Structures are given as C-alpha cells and as structure tokens.
Amino acid sequence: MKIPLKEINSGGIEVDFKLSPEILNASQVPEDLSPSFSFESEAQVALNLSREGSTVYVEGVANSSFVSSCSRCVEPSETKLRTPIKIQFKPKSERAAVGEQDEDLEISYYLGKEVELASVVVDFIKLDIPFSVLCAESCKGLCAKCGENLNNENCDCSIEKTGDSPFAVLQGLKLKH
C-alpha cells in the first residue's frame, strides 16, 4: 500500500486497507525455521496519516487473527490481535545525516515521493504475536504419562510421585516453630 506524499497534508488523511493472508504469511525465514502460526483471513487496517515538513506521522490499528497450536494441548487455536500502529516516516536522506540506526521501531524511512505502509504494518502485526497461545484459559493440557488430551476425556493414568524432584529431599526437613 503506497501513499503519495502529495496526498498527505498537515490536517491528515484516513487510510483503510486490507492485508491478504498471503502477504501476512510471507516470510524471509527458511522453511525449517518457519514460524508455527498461520494467518488465514485478511487483516483490517485503519490508519491516520499526517505530515509536518518531510516527516509523515502514522497512527492507527490493525485487526487480524492467526491460527497456532495451543501451548498446553497442541490443538489448533485461533487468536485475535488488535495491534496499535504508531510510526514516523522520514526521508532516507535524513537517516544518513543524523546517523540513526535501523533498529528503531518507531521510525522508518521512505525513498522518493511515496510512503510504503504494508510492510511496516506486517512487521507490527508479527511483533504483536504472543510467545505462547492457549486455546482457552481453562485448558487442561496433555497427560504427562500417556499424552491424552485432558480437555476431551480423563485418562486412567496415575502420576506417581517419585523422588526425582530436586525438592524431594525437603520432605524430611523438620522445622522448629
């Protein structure tokens, strides 16, 4: 999604667009290191753009959802995201003059007479993905002995308490009151 600078005035403009699952899932990561999530529907993006001199200010939100495995029971789980977007775009020439680093997440740069929004919004969405996902807060997970999904049925396994715990030696500790 490219926006010509001449369309952005100091009063600002509103831009609404969608990002396809293909764009959201595109990755520069090798297949064997690919992420364990998948976007299966479009992301809805609503942004306000304003300009002061050569700096473009972007603020808004991206609504999306992704499918990933539950961290406890490993079943597929859909998670909705509401990702806040806030970033400044400056001309690429200013970056060299100031000596700013590429790592600043709140500043990006544009070349020419237009601002590219899609790739920056995709980065914000992917950074908003949680490290672990649960299908439900009440998920019981898998049986540690047989691997049965405890959300579907209880298994007959009994988890035996063994002395394998590093804290097992504390059971015999006598405390004075």
- What one-character-per-residue DSSP string does 102-125 give? TT-TTEEEE-TTEEE-HHHHHHHH
Amino acid in position 113 = K
Cα angle, residue 7 at apex, residues 5 and 13 outer, rounded to 5°: 110
pTM for the full predicted model: 0.76
Tens of pLDDT, residue by residue over 40-83, are 999 999 999 999 888 999 999 999 999 999 999 999 999 999 99
Instruction: Give the pLDDT confidence score for residue 167 in this predicted structure.
Output: 76
Tens of pLDDT, residue by residue over 109-156, are 888 888 999 999 999 998 898 888 899 999 999 988 888 999 998 888
